[in-house]
Structure 1
């Protein structure tokens, strides 16, 4: 049976009170666990401080030991299971140097050997006030404390190297994680006692105790219903709310842009279309100006008082494009000034007086009517052929003197 995950905290007072009770219980258990571990480590440091000031070894008579003791030799620590390690070279980067400090060295992690070290044997070891003795399957190996520069405790691996003063490649012991803190402490204490540096080890332990007291866990503050977090909407509801909001935004946008995209035959377009401008007076030689179409003079017309003819091409009417997907822009509120068409000078016509167009103004979608025929009275008289009998015409004589002769 799978555990049911508690839902989000609501605004109901009973739910907020239940959340406060669960959270207080969880924090209380976490605090008790941390406080228990802290007290256990504090007791261990107190014992180490006592040992640093007053412990000087134990003879252990009648106890089976991996290595027999010499006369007057006392035991500091027995290491029942260890491995003998040695360095592949005299100087290997990354190996711990000789140092008697214990700060940050009592709780290293477990893992593989550092680069440059290899295991050569396994067995048991003994730490006394004179030496560190190892007994394994391949024989024994002793390190005299007076000949050591000091133990080098690796901060991240359970390895302690014993550096000799003669410059030989370092070797040491790899110890199991359980009991590693006590083994390192007693080995360091034995070397410090043999070299007269016991006070340094005691000061190191005092510093560790002070840091541990400063890191004491504090009890948590009790929580109440007012500390409950606000209600969080589940993921499904968040998705549904997002979809609904997107639909509302799309609807508002579509409603706002429909009149602009409507065709000319739709009600919205008819209501939004501007009213046509009134035509100007006829016969003035210029067409009324509209906001979007400049005035154009038809072909064959001349302005009043000007002998040059103006050629212009009326703009044909183009129906609105109903298939265009984009919106159409409304006419500008303030019309721009008309742009005069290009004027080109033509040779003067000897005949054809100026004719004023009487049809609709250009730009209304209709072509201007053709120019009217010239009046008969305005045309010159056609020439009269001479009389076939040889007589003079009605307006002239045969000779300059007025008396003509016939041949």
Structure 2
């Protein structure tokens, strides 16, 4: 009968089954959260389109407010939309490429981006308040005022990537428009287009546009995601024990490589035999004071190392015995200095003393 350890007889199936069950639960929860977020966004857009559909069929404007606007309203003039904050923009040239064409398109849709970057060739002129009525679009800023009457407009042009609406005039004047906040772009576009279409007799076209958008939106309602079961777990995670074994093997291999490299490196010093101080006569010799030795240079014809070194006293120096004598010093001994005889100094002749006798007379 062969005994087996608990580690080798353990079945990894229960651990794998638990992991796959946990994965399926987390995946189903993630899918439900994504579906809830998509459904909430779809419902908000659906409610907005339903409201716009009702407005396109029956909205005729508001009689209030009548004061605090950038223009004075006529008696038969009603308000469609008021923007407390708007920017007046102008095109830098008469013809700028890349700008949208005028028309009723985009009445019920906002820009697909949230940035407020202006197209190339368009600049901001002033900031102020804008109002949309059934007769005109008016702007009042700190420095400038503008009005666009609907009979003088070709139509509004809503930019698809920015909250910008350009107002093309029939007289071909410089192109201008309004840059509005992102949150107010969709409603501003709708009410401006609806007011222009009502004034020009094209209101039914705006209502039909909203109906088409609502029908397409209802067909794109999010569907609940399918639920997953533990058997749907990815293949890379079916055997978690293999992943653990692989990681362990890699860690062991890396540790062994680093250890072998550290052992093979070794010291970087000399590899010759090491000398150790020996206890014995050498200690005694080193401790005792020795007389100063002077070694004469070798005489030609005489073997090197022969003879006995003479000390200062003229007696042969004692030989050192013991362990320390085995290793001679490799430092060269300077030759003994010889005394060179100096010749005696020659005395200079002493000059004769001056004479005091009077000079001869003739």
Task: Sort the TM-score into its range (normalised by shorter chain).
Answer: 0.5 to 0.7
Give structure 1 stretches of 5+ with no counterpart: 1-8, 245-407
The 3 A distance-change label for structure 1 pair 11 and 89 is: same
Retained in 2: the 8 A contact 1:106–1:181? yes
Retained in 2: the 8 A contact 1:85–1:121? yes
Cα drift, residue 163 of structure 1 = 0.1
Cα drift, residue 227 of structure 1 = 1.3
Would you say 1:237 and 2:241 are equivalent positions?
Answer: no
Match of 2:187 in 1: 182
Cα drift, residue 238 of structure 1 = 7.4
Match of 1:173 in 2: 178
Aligned-CA RMSD value: 2.5
Cα drift, residue 157 of structure 1 = 1.1
Which is helix-richer, 1 or 2? 2
Match of 1:143 in 2: 148
Cα drift, residue 222 of structure 1 = 1.5
Retained in 1: the 8 A contact 2:107–2:190? no
Cα drift, residue 234 of structure 1 = 4.5
Would you say 1:84 and 2:93 are equivalent positions?
Answer: no
How many aligned residue pairs are there? 236
Greater C-alpha radius of gyration:
1
Match of 1:44 in 2: 48
Retained in 2: the 8 A contact 1:128–1:190? yes
What SS class does the counterpart of residue 89 from structure 1 fall into? coil
Q: Residues of 2 paired with 1:137 and 1:126: CA distance?
A: 15
What SS class does the counterpart of residue 235 from structure 2 fall into? coil
Match of 2:22 in 1: 18
The 3 A distance-change label for structure 1 pair 239 and 174 is: farther
The 3 A distance-change label for structure 1 pair 235 and 58 is: farther
Match of 2:165 in 1: 160
- Of residues 206, 215, 220, the one that matches 1:215 is 220
With the length of structure 1 as denominator, give the TM-score of the two structures.
0.54
- What CA deviation, in whole Å up to 9, does each residue of 1:292-321 have, x standing for no partner? xxxxxxxxxxxxxxxxxxxxxxxxxxxxxx
Retained in 1: the 8 A contact 2:102–2:157? yes
Retained in 2: the 8 A contact 1:66–1:126? yes
With the length of structure 2 as denominator, give the TM-score of the two structures.
0.61
Cα drift, residue 88 of structure 1 = 1.1
Cα drift, residue 108 of structure 1 = 3.1
- Of residues 66, 69, 78, the one that matches 1:65 is 69
Q: Residues of 2 paired with 1:10 and 1:97: CA distance?
A: 66
What SS class does the counterpart of residue 89 from structure 2 fall into? strand
Q: Residues of 2 paired with 1:59 and 1:139: CA distance?
A: 26
Retained in 1: the 8 A contact 2:130–2:140? yes
The 3 A distance-change label for structure 1 pair 121 and 234 is: farther
Q: Residues of 1 paired with 2:155 and 2:128: CA distance?
A: 22
Point out which structure has higher relative CO (alpha carbons under 8 A, 6+ apart): 2
Q: Residues of 2 paired with 1:32 and 1:169: CA distance?
A: 48
